[in-house]
Structure 1
Amino acid sequence: MTSMGEAANAATITISPDAVSHAAVEEASSSARTTDDGSLRSDEMKQSRRPGDVALKQQRMKSWQPLLSPRWVIASYFAIALIFIPVGVVVRKKSNDLIELKTIYESHLPDGPAADITGCEIGNSPNKMYLNQETCEIVMKVPDDKGDLDPPIMVHYELFNFYQNYRKYYTSKDQYQLVGSLTQDSVSAQDCEPLNKIGEIKINPCGLIANTLFNDVITLESIVRPDGVKIENAPMIETGIAWESDKEWKFRQPEGFKSEQCLSCDACDCEQLNEDGEKMWSCRTPYVDEDGNCFRYFYPEDNTTQYLYETYPMVVSPLDGVLNEHFIVWMRTAALPHFRKLYGYIQETIPAGSTLTFRVMANFAVERNLGAKALVVSNTYAFGGKSPWLGDLYIAVGGIAAGFAVFFSAKEVLSPRRMADQRYLRFKED
């Protein structure tokens, strides 16, 4: 029978030569990775994934943990009320001071307002007035008791019951086509259906948005002061109404498009041939702008493509194409079925009591969708156009906060309780 000492001596650990050599290699490798002062070499520091020794990376940032005492909560609610209620009152007053002139010139709403005037209805006949070269008249008067209508004076068209927010609608476009591409992949073609082709003729741009463009033509005919004198040099400006980012990045004429201003309309030959005997211009007749200047232009694949200026000649010129700002504004789809879009603006002051006369060529049909159309003229302030709901919202939030502040104050006075009172603590039972 062996003693305990002998058993301890017998229980020795045997280390293989391979283990010794492996430990030696590890030690040598470790000494090779460190400098004389024991720090890591630069190449090892580059490979290290250890976060830097800073408070943010090591999660040593100081935190603020507010103690929500009754007094702190009551003071917070009072502060919210003191800020929101005065702001709401000011915003509401600014909105009420704005002047807004609105005329519904066609309505088919089952339960909505009727049209304010007659003579502009086209029913379910798109482009009726354009085809017949007709117009209707809208007359608006600036109120006598609200002061002058100061610039910038915005002119909007307003649509009721038109759902640009349907998913099928706002995805129905070919974004590559809108920036000039002449080729189309299968996904974009499917997105544009059923307005991608008419027989064998391609539609450019395709899709539901581009081919339901609001194409009523609105013209400011005159502005007459209360004394009967017509205000000159106060046009409705229709440029600068689209986002600059949209104009710069989201829309381009088709690849290969070109245009040229002619010295005279007689010298503007659309049938000119190049050295190979091919037509240099796709126009059939020169385009004449508002100033009487003549232009000739070229659209690629014109024989097999219907371009925007051919679909909406009353709104879009062949020189602008998809760069037309009314089209760009329309392509930025609305989030709600009742919306306004900017048509133009006036940069001159219109005195109180003045009369504005607009001439409208109504082409956009709203009977089928049981909708309505309106023309809106208004000035603006820092928060946009006339809208009382924003001021009411501020006042409501401030009022609710004030109500909570009064309630908790009464509770603190009538039935206070000590912080961390053990009577209100509940412990999990074992």
Structure 2
Amino acid sequence: MPPRDAVQTATQLSGSASEGVQNDTKVLKNRPKASALRQQKLPAWQPILTATTVIPTVFVIGAIFLPIGVFLFIASDSVSEYPIEYTSCSPSPCRLQINLPNAFDGDVYLYYNLENYYQNHRRYVKSRNDQQYLGDLTNVKDCAPFDYDPETKKPIAPCGAIANSIFNDTFTLTYQSETGLPIEVPVTTQGVIWNVDKDRKFKNPPLNGGNLCDAFKDTVKPPNWRKNPCDVGGFENVDFIVWMRTAALPYFKKLWRIVDRNLNPAFTNGLPKGTYVLTVENNYPVQSFGGKKYFVISTTSWAGGKNSFLGIAYLVVGCLAIVLGVVFVFIHLKFGHSMNELSNVSGVHH
């Protein structure tokens, strides 16, 4: 008979073996399915960069980018634009004379332009509450330091640094017609703001049978606002919505109004050439940070407003691609190997 120790050892080994089988069984249960996707056996393709593939590609890029750059540059150059600075215009209201050398045909857009104004500052951009702008007046989270009025402890509406610093200059453009009688250029806010802003991002609070001022009665206007929000349309005010879409660069222009070509026959085709008088309510201070203010009259093209940067960028990339293509051809002809030479390579002999 086998010794007792041998029997115990055999029993332990048998138990360990059965546990190992169970563990292996558990591992097998968690194994991914034997599909090509899960086992990473899908067919792959890797391009081989050779002179016969790279050089034609570089020339094709240049051939595509050059005409696109030409079209974009011509489109930008066809836009008529007239800026006039009024930073130091005083006293307010002040009047500036504008002489349009050419007629501005088609739709005419009126902008205000600010320089040295950093709307992309991190703390400035974060100081807003989109939920409040949808009608929840008590929600002033992330609006500090313009969240609550320090005296009344009421929430500020609209809250935040962006809303508090809204641009509030106003303009009136008058055309000095040939008859000698000044004609005020009619303007409209239709088409100034994006539909997504108007329909989804900015909504006044519910009126509940009252008027807009009743809805705002438990709030305080921002410190820098001259008028109460309810007197200028609340959160659905066009100038407010335009200002709340912050700019990425320290010099930017924002759309103020569009010339209404349907109200007066003199402006059916746009703005005729001649003399205009711009009356400015110069309310917005920019001297403290060395800023400048402009009023801009502009048309557009199929590529947008006057901005030659994109066209020049395409032209530069296209020319660079053509030059590199010529350099690659020279290097390949001078130092490259033909396909016959590469096929005759037998390897390295030891």
The 1-side partners of 2:221 and 2:31 are apart by 58
Output the TM-score relative to the length of structure 1.
Answer: 0.64
State the match for 1:211 in structure 2.
Answer: 164
Alpha-carbon offset, residue 366 of structure 1: 0.9
State the match for 2:3 in structure 1.
Answer: none
The 2-side partners of 1:56 and 1:228 are apart by 79
Partner residue of 2:256 out of 323, 327, 343: 343
State the match for 1:395 in structure 2.
Answer: 315
The 1-side partners of 2:42 and 2:309 are apart by 42
State the match for 2:100 in structure 1.
Answer: 142
The 2-side partners of 1:195 and 1:14 are apart by 78
Alpha-carbon offset, residue 370 of structure 1: 1.0
Identity %: 31
Is the partner of 1:343 in helix, strand or coil? Answer: strand
Partner residue of 2:333 out of 388, 391, 413: 413
Kept in 1: contact 2:146–2:222 (CA 8 A) = no
State the match for 2:125 in structure 1.
Answer: 170
The 1-side partners of 2:311 and 2:216 are apart by 53
State the match for 2:215 in structure 1.
Answer: 299
Output the TM-score relative to the length of structure 2.
Answer: 0.78
Given residue 80 of structure 1, which amino acid in structure 2 is its aligned partner? I
What do the CA deviations read for 1:123-175 (whole angstroms, capped 9, x no partner)?
xxxxxx4xxxxx2223333333xxx4233211110001111111111111233
Matches within 5 A, 1:345-360: 345-348=258-261, 349-350=269-270, 353-360=273-280
CA 1:300–1:378 in structure 2 vs 1: closer, same or farther (change >3 Å)?
A: closer
Alpha-carbon offset, residue 213 of structure 1: 0.7
Is the partner of 1:368 in helix, strand or coil? Answer: helix
Partner residue of 1:121 out of 90, 94, 103: 90
The 2-side partners of 1:258 and 1:361 are apart by 36
Matches within 5 A, 1:10-159: 50-51=32-33, 53=35, 56=37, 59-106=40-87, 120-121=89-90, 129=92, 135-144=93-102, 148-159=103-114
CA 1:182–1:98 in structure 2 vs 1: closer, same or farther (change >3 Å)?
A: closer
Alpha-carbon offset, residue 87 of structure 1: 1.3
State the match for 1:263 in structure 2.
Answer: none
Partner residue of 1:222 out of 175, 191, 197: 175
The 2-side partners of 1:309 and 1:242 are apart by 25
Kept in 2: contact 1:255–1:300 (CA 8 A) = no
The 2-side partners of 1:300 and 1:66 are apart by 64
Kept in 2: contact 1:150–1:379 (CA 8 A) = yes
The 2-side partners of 1:192 and 1:298 are apart by 25
Structure with more helix by fraction: 2
Gaps of 5+ in 2: 1-5, 262-268
Corresponding position: 1:331 with 2:244: yes
The 1-side partners of 2:332 and 2:161 are apart by 61
Alpha-carbon offset, residue 102 of structure 1: 0.5
The 2-side partners of 1:248 and 1:355 are apart by 39
Is the partner of 2:90 in helix, strand or coil? Answer: coil
Kept in 1: contact 2:118–2:250 (CA 8 A) = yes
CA 1:313–1:151 in structure 2 vs 1: closer, same or farther (change >3 Å)?
A: farther
State the match for 1:250 in structure 2.
Answer: 201
Given residue 158 of structure 1, which amino acid in structure 2 is its aligned partner? N
Q: CA RMSD in A?
A: 3.8
The 2-side partners of 1:341 and 1:49 are apart by 59
Kept in 2: contact 1:309–1:318 (CA 8 A) = no
CA 1:177–1:393 in structure 2 vs 1: closer, same or farther (change >3 Å)?
A: same
The 1-side partners of 2:235 and 2:252 are apart by 22
Gaps of 5+ in 1: 1-9, 31-46, 108-119, 123-128, 130-134, 261-295
Matches within 5 A, 1:233-272: 235-256=186-207, 259=210
Alpha-carbon offset, residue 258 of structure 1: 5.3
Kept in 2: contact 1:89–1:395 (CA 8 A) = yes
Alpha-carbon offset, residue 235 of structure 1: 1.8
Alpha-carbon offset, residue 362 of structure 1: 1.2
